[in-house]
Structure 1
Amino acid sequence: CIILSILSISVLIDAGVNPTAPISDTVCQPGSTLRIAWQDDGKSPSIASFPKLIVYFMSGSDQQQKYLAKVCELLPSNSQLYCDHVIPQVRPVGKWYFYRFTDGANTTNEYYTTRFTITDSNGQYPPATSPAPPSGKNPGQDGEIVSNSTNSSPTSLIGSSPTSSSSIPTSSSSDTPASYVPVAQASKTAQSNTKPSSAQTAKQSGSSKEVADSKPSNVVSGASFLENTKELVFSVIVGLTLNFLVLPI
């Protein structure tokens, strides 16, 4: 944030809290940390007498204010006169935003900072209305918070305060199941599972060899049968010849 002065003019002047920052010339970019500061004005009631001090982030007109967020809640007994606010992304951007202080019990004890400027994420914003509307009659704008996600975080806060954080689980190798196979590897794994192992290949090649070796054995068996047939025929012829020779004349 850019703070060009240390003096703030309250929208509503009252005893107790005298805001000193932000001021009219303060310009903040989303993600930056703005220190909201105040002091006791020395009038009654004193800040120390408050049961608590709550700071709200606001927009809207002087007559119709719009609540945006609770920034911090402090115990005045701690004597802390500031709290930090991480500026969110808002819509619309411009000089439409301010803070309201209350004691949390008596709504008549309310105090305000002047309006300050919140830019877009690139630091751009429209010019403020000129001339400035009179105090108590500023029509303002009804702003809204678009996103609280920032890389910064509030510091030196006492009591409850809004926090901004990311819950995207990040993935890690330990989150991956042991049985998990990436899609890109699944088809490759399936193909590798369909290929025969080296032992299966050897067995198949051995079976082929056995089939090839069995063919000559069939040929040998046929030759043996033919040889045996020849011997049988020869034996029959010899036997008939001998019988013919020994017959009586």
Structure 2
Amino acid sequence: MKTTFVSLALFLAVVAQMVASMAVITNPVSSTKGKGGKKLSVVWNDDGKSPKISDWGGVNVFLAVGSQNVQYKLQQLGSNLPVTQTKGSWKVDPSIGANSKSYFIRMEGTKLGSDGNPPMAFSARFELSNMSGQFNSTVQNAANGKEGAAPSSSTTGSSGSSSTSSASSSSTSSTGLSGAASSSKSSSASSSSSTTSGVAPIYLNSALVTVGAIAAGVAAFV
């Protein structure tokens, strides 16, 4: 297990960039009720401050769960989207997790900042039902915020990733995403239920931001 923690210098750089720029995800919001197997609408905009979304390179959109410290990308919805795009609608894979109100959207730019990390933005936590998978205990703990105050709303972090490590040992299909937690039929003989495993969490400094501080325009998450 290899872990790299966010340095103080990186933390200060992230905070400074967050103050300067805010990409805002306006949908989904905390009252959103999506369903596995159905399309989920994601809408975002740019506050016009530097660095603008036009400086992100491309935009990757992920469906995720996690805490302020540790997050898991469960499904990549959009890949290298043009920076001029401000919305999208994608089908939610029901096998990635359980029915929960802990899901959120995580957006990342493809162009790294001067600190070596991508610009990021986060939505509010929202509910997904009609899901057929299950979270393992590691992912569930992160979703419950036991590894740090849980995010609750739209937030923009500029930099983010800082560490990856394997979080589960049970066999399951993996999305291959960094920090991804894929959920599907487990091959374990002791259980036939779907489990979220093969997970590599992304660790973030809990002091970076408080997701949800801004569902109305200012958000801080990871």
Normalising by the smaller structure, the TM-score range is 0.3 to 0.5
Answer 1 or 2: which has greater helix percent. Answer: 1
Which of structures 1 and 2 has the larger relative contact order (alpha carbons within 8 angstroms, sep 6+)?
Answer: 2
TM-score by length of 2: 0.48
Answer 1 or 2: which has greater strand percent. Answer: 2
Tell me which structure has the larger Cα radius of gyration. 1
TM-score by length of 1: 0.43
